[in-house]
A = this chain, B = another copy of it.
Amino acid sequence: MKKSQLCPRFEEAMSILSKRWTGLIIYQLLSGKQRFCTIESAIGISGRLLSERLKDLEKQGIVKRDIFPETPVRIEYSLTEKGLALEPIMKELEKWSQTWIETEAISTSE
């Protein structure tokens, strides 16, 4: 593949957000720590992909995983400092969407 002329840090940051579901997972966790099944139903992602994304985000130091050995086991996901620092981006995107996205224009194919 061709090499870009962009700042590698910015490119890396964008590659995180431009992976499907990643942004919504982070957005969802901004409202506080929560469990796998809560995130799953809140954003409508499948277990297979949520599992994959959470592993990636943990590896990148954006998400933290805490295990509570109850029955059945409880696992809570939350944002690290690095993850929480993404809040301004989400807030700006929220603002933009409220100004520029019309509800009517959204495809309702599902």
Known: A18-B19, A106-B8, A106-B12. A92 touches B92 (CB 8 A): yes
Count of A interface residues, CB-CB < 8 Å = 49
CA distance A106 to B76 in the complex (A): 28
Contact assessment for A2 and B97 in the assembled complex, using a CB-CB cutoff below 8 Å: no
Secondary structure at chain A's binding surface: helix, strand, loop or mixed?
A: helix
Residue of B nearest to A43 (CB): B4
Query: What's the least CB distance linking A77 to chain B, in Å?
Result: 17
How far does the alpha carbon of A10 sit from the alpha carbon of B45 in the complex, in Å? Answer: 16
Residue numbers in B under 8 Å from A98 (CB-CB): 9
Pairs A–B under 8 Å by Cβ, sample size 12: A2-B44, A4-B24, A5-B43, A7-B94, A9-B97, A13-B94, A17-B17, A18-B18, A18-B24, A88-B96, A89-B93, A92-B92
Contact surface of A with B, Cβ cutoff 8 Å = 1-14, 17-24, 27-28, 41-46, 82, 85-86, 88-89, 92-101, 103, 105-106, 110
